[in-house]
Amino acid sequence: MSALYPNDHSVYTIAVTKQEAHPIQKQGSSENLYCLVTGASSGIGLAIAEECARMGMHLFLVALPKSGLAESAARIAESCGVRVETLECDLTDPQSAIEIRERLRSTGIRLRMLVNNAGVDLAGRFDDRTLEEHEQMIGLNIMAVTRLTYLVLPLLKRVPRSHILNIASAAAFFPMPYKPIYSPSKTFVMNFSFAIREELRESGIGVSVVCPGGVITNADVRRRIELQGLYGKLSSMEPSTLARYVLPRVFRGQALIVPGWFNKVFQVLGRIVPLPILLPYLHHRFRRDEAVLRARSNTVA
């Protein structure tokens, strides 16, 4: 079976160009504390990496080959005065997580935070997508998160007050027609986070999960948000806004982070509205959006 992404394990190390005092270092922490972020070349992952760097954390960034990771890492190192290491790989390949762990071990990095951000959202009818696409979405959204967390957990246990941040979605709160794999994959991420948080309670490792609405990470997401009208406008945000909202709450130990009042209301409605009422509404809403997007695509073609 061919991979959804190319498999290239190129490694880059970005040298720090200036040294400044940062909040984390002022608190007496080791200067060798790092945050590992997956899917870090753009969107939410890049925004979280930038915000962590502004807080004084060094970075270990992971993303797909040829995704612009080296350029983003160099810019962060230059602007924030932190060390940035990068690894380009395909996280659907089980060997990638092992390679990440070995790089952390061999370089002596002390891991303070793991951000499981890498994921894929392929919308559309279940039978309009190939089985390979469904399997690869499960591989990235579920298996890669499980595998990497398991392999680096012993490293996190060595650093007091370390953290795991998992990126889920508002789609985790209920089953969504036209997102039949994405929605349950994010439900897994949310419940997985709650479960290991409880298990790790006495270890000093905090576990948080964020469930945002639409985050404007690319042109396709922007089009889908625009189709949702007022709801899309009220529930969406830019990646930089999300990062600034999320990180202080992670460090305060908040378990579930739902950005925006509208998303909080939608979360509650998703819990109290019976599925026989909720599912037909979601089906109608997203079927309409998919039909509009398909018509636009055919017009462009």
Question: Tell me: the pLDDT tens digits for 168-200?
Answer: 999 999 899 999 999 999 999 999 999 999 999
**Strands 163-167, 256-257: parallel, antiparallel or unpaired by DSSP?**
unpaired
Average pLDDT, integer, range 235-260: 91
Give the per-residue pLDDT at 1: 32
Q: Which amino acid is at 198?
A: E
pLDDT of 224: 57
Which range (33-47, 90-104, 193-207, 284-298) has the least confidence? 284-298
Domain boundaries, the chain: 11-300
Q: Please tell me the pTM assigned to this model.
A: 0.83
Q: What is the rounded distance in angstroms from the CA atom of residue 89 to the CA atom of residue 110? A: 21
Give the pLDDT band of residue 233 (cuts 50, 70, 90): low
CA-based radius of gyration for the chain: 19
User: Does the pLDDT of residue 161 top 70, yes or no?
Assistant: yes
Strand partners, 204: none
Q: State the average pLDDT for the chain.
A: 83
Q: If pLDDT is split at 50, 70 and 90, which confidence band does 219 have?
A: low
Q: Which strand ranges, in their side-by-side order, compose the sheet holding 206-210?
A: 11-14, 84-88, 58-63, 33-38, 110-116, 163-167, 206-210, 256-257
Looking at per-residue pLDDT, the higher value among 229 and 104 belongs to 104
Active site residue 182: yes
Helices in 19-177 by DSSP H: which ranges?
23-26, 43-54, 69-80, 94-107, 131-138, 144-156
Residue 198, C-beta contacts closer than 8 angstroms, at least 6 positions apart: none
Look at strands 58-63 and 84-88 and give their pairing: parallel
CATH T-level topology, domain 11-300? Rossmann fold (3.40.50)
Question: What integer pLDDT is reported at residue 123 of this predicted model?
Answer: 84
The pLDDT of 12-35, averaged and rounded, is 47
pLDDT at 294: 58
Residue 132 CA to residue 3 CA, distance in Å, equals: 9
pLDDT digits (tens, 9 = 90+) for 60-113: 999 999 999 999 999 999 999 999 999 999 999 999 999 999 999 999 999 999
Of 5, 34, 178, 182, the catalytic one is 182
Residue 28 confidence (pLDDT) = 35
Predicted confidence band at 23 (pLDDT cuts at 50, 70, 90)?
A: very low
